[in-house]
Amino acid sequence: MPVVRPSEAVTHEIHGALFVSHATPRSGSKELCAWRGEIPAGTKAPAHTVSHEEIFHLLDGELLITLDDRTERVAAGDTLIINPGATLTVENPTDRTAVSWVTTSIGLRAQLADGTVITPPWAN
Protein backbone atom coordinates (compact mmCIF):
# COMPACT_ATOMS: atom_id res chain seq x y z
CA MET A 1 0.00 0.00 0.00
CA PRO A 2 1.73 3.19 -1.15
CA VAL A 3 1.56 5.91 1.50
CA VAL A 4 3.03 9.30 0.65
CA ARG A 5 4.04 11.20 3.76
CA PRO A 6 4.14 15.01 3.61
CA SER A 7 7.92 14.87 3.93
CA GLU A 8 8.07 12.63 0.81
CA ALA A 9 5.95 14.87 -1.44
CA VAL A 10 7.92 16.53 -4.21
CA THR A 11 7.61 20.30 -4.62
CA HIS A 12 7.78 22.02 -8.02
CA GLU A 13 7.53 25.74 -8.78
CA ILE A 14 6.27 27.38 -11.95
CA HIS A 15 4.79 30.81 -12.68
CA GLY A 16 5.16 31.79 -9.02
CA ALA A 17 3.03 28.92 -7.65
CA LEU A 18 4.07 25.77 -5.79
CA PHE A 19 2.85 22.33 -6.80
CA VAL A 20 3.36 19.74 -4.05
CA SER A 21 3.07 16.37 -5.74
CA HIS A 22 1.59 13.54 -3.68
CA ALA A 23 0.34 10.97 -6.21
CA THR A 24 2.17 10.17 -9.47
CA PRO A 25 3.43 6.98 -11.09
CA ARG A 26 6.72 7.55 -9.21
CA SER A 27 4.83 7.33 -5.91
CA GLY A 28 2.70 4.32 -6.89
CA SER A 29 -0.27 5.79 -8.77
CA LYS A 30 -1.55 3.85 -11.79
CA GLU A 31 -4.20 6.21 -13.29
CA LEU A 32 -4.46 9.45 -11.32
CA CYS A 33 -2.24 12.25 -10.10
CA ALA A 34 -2.95 14.55 -7.17
CA TRP A 35 -1.19 17.60 -5.82
CA ARG A 36 -1.57 20.51 -3.45
CA GLY A 37 -1.25 23.89 -5.10
CA GLU A 38 -0.09 26.98 -3.24
CA ILE A 39 -0.93 30.20 -5.08
CA PRO A 40 0.70 33.21 -3.40
CA ALA A 41 -1.04 36.57 -3.00
CA GLY A 42 -0.89 38.65 -6.16
CA THR A 43 -0.13 35.70 -8.47
CA LYS A 44 -1.74 35.50 -11.91
CA ALA A 45 -0.86 32.36 -13.84
CA PRO A 46 -0.87 32.50 -17.63
CA ALA A 47 -3.90 31.14 -19.46
CA HIS A 48 -3.42 27.51 -20.41
CA THR A 49 -5.52 24.88 -22.17
CA VAL A 50 -5.59 21.48 -20.44
CA SER A 51 -5.50 18.11 -22.17
CA HIS A 52 -7.25 16.11 -19.43
CA GLU A 53 -10.11 16.71 -17.02
CA GLU A 54 -9.05 18.25 -13.70
CA ILE A 55 -10.94 18.39 -10.43
CA PHE A 56 -9.79 21.54 -8.60
CA HIS A 57 -10.86 21.92 -4.96
CA LEU A 58 -10.00 25.10 -3.07
CA LEU A 59 -8.96 24.24 0.48
CA ASP A 60 -8.14 27.74 1.74
CA GLY A 61 -8.37 31.30 0.46
CA GLU A 62 -10.08 32.87 -2.55
CA LEU A 63 -9.22 32.92 -6.24
CA LEU A 64 -10.49 34.40 -9.47
CA ILE A 65 -10.80 31.55 -11.95
CA THR A 66 -11.45 32.14 -15.62
CA LEU A 67 -12.60 29.04 -17.43
CA ASP A 68 -12.84 29.71 -21.15
CA ASP A 69 -14.58 33.12 -21.13
CA ARG A 70 -16.34 32.93 -17.75
CA THR A 71 -14.76 34.35 -14.59
CA GLU A 72 -15.87 33.26 -11.12
CA ARG A 73 -14.65 34.14 -7.64
CA VAL A 74 -14.18 30.85 -5.82
CA ALA A 75 -13.73 30.39 -2.09
CA ALA A 76 -12.55 27.65 0.25
CA GLY A 77 -14.78 24.60 -0.14
CA ASP A 78 -15.62 25.27 -3.81
CA THR A 79 -14.81 22.63 -6.43
CA LEU A 80 -14.31 23.25 -10.14
CA ILE A 81 -14.62 20.65 -12.86
CA ILE A 82 -12.28 21.61 -15.68
CA ASN A 83 -13.00 19.65 -18.84
CA PRO A 84 -10.36 18.65 -21.41
CA GLY A 85 -9.79 21.43 -23.94
CA ALA A 86 -10.88 24.18 -21.53
CA THR A 87 -8.68 27.25 -21.13
CA LEU A 88 -7.95 28.08 -17.52
CA THR A 89 -6.53 31.17 -15.82
CA VAL A 90 -5.95 31.28 -12.07
CA GLU A 91 -5.45 34.57 -10.20
CA ASN A 92 -5.05 35.30 -6.51
CA PRO A 93 -6.00 38.97 -6.04
CA THR A 94 -5.99 38.67 -2.25
CA ASP A 95 -3.27 39.34 0.32
CA ARG A 96 -2.80 35.70 1.40
CA THR A 97 -1.81 32.40 -0.15
CA ALA A 98 -4.62 30.21 -1.51
CA VAL A 99 -4.30 26.43 -1.21
CA SER A 100 -5.91 23.93 -3.58
CA TRP A 101 -6.05 20.17 -4.14
CA VAL A 102 -6.12 19.00 -7.75
CA THR A 103 -6.67 15.55 -9.21
CA THR A 104 -6.33 14.55 -12.86
CA SER A 105 -5.39 11.61 -15.07
CA ILE A 106 -1.76 10.75 -15.64
CA GLY A 107 -0.45 12.45 -18.77
CA LEU A 108 -1.86 15.96 -18.34
CA ARG A 109 -0.39 18.58 -20.65
CA ALA A 110 -1.03 22.32 -20.69
CA GLN A 111 -0.70 24.55 -23.75
CA LEU A 112 0.03 28.24 -23.23
CA ALA A 113 -1.32 30.96 -25.52
CA ASP A 114 2.05 31.18 -27.35
CA GLY A 115 1.84 27.47 -28.26
CA THR A 116 4.31 26.27 -25.63
CA VAL A 117 3.30 22.86 -24.26
CA ILE A 118 4.11 22.08 -20.64
CA THR A 119 4.18 18.50 -19.39
CA PRO A 120 4.09 19.08 -15.64
CA PRO A 121 6.12 16.53 -13.67
CA TRP A 122 3.50 16.58 -10.88
CA ALA A 123 0.94 15.14 -13.33
CA ASN A 124 3.03 12.53 -15.13
Per-residue pLDDT tens over the stretch 11-30: 999 999 999 999 999 999 99
Strands 98-105 and 54-60: antiparallel
Number of domains in the chain: 1
CATH of the domain at 36: 2.60.120.10
Q: Give the pLDDT score at 2.
A: 83
3-state secondary structure of 46: coil
> Which pTM value belongs to this model?
0.93
Q: Give the pLDDT score at 28.
A: 92
Domain of 64 in residue numbering reads as 6-123
Q: Give the pLDDT score at 39.
A: 98
Residue 1 within a domain: no
Q: Give the pLDDT score at 90.
A: 97
Low-confidence ranges of the chain (pLDDT < 50): none
What is the C-alpha to C-alpha distance for residues 106 and 124, in angstroms, rounded to an integer? 5
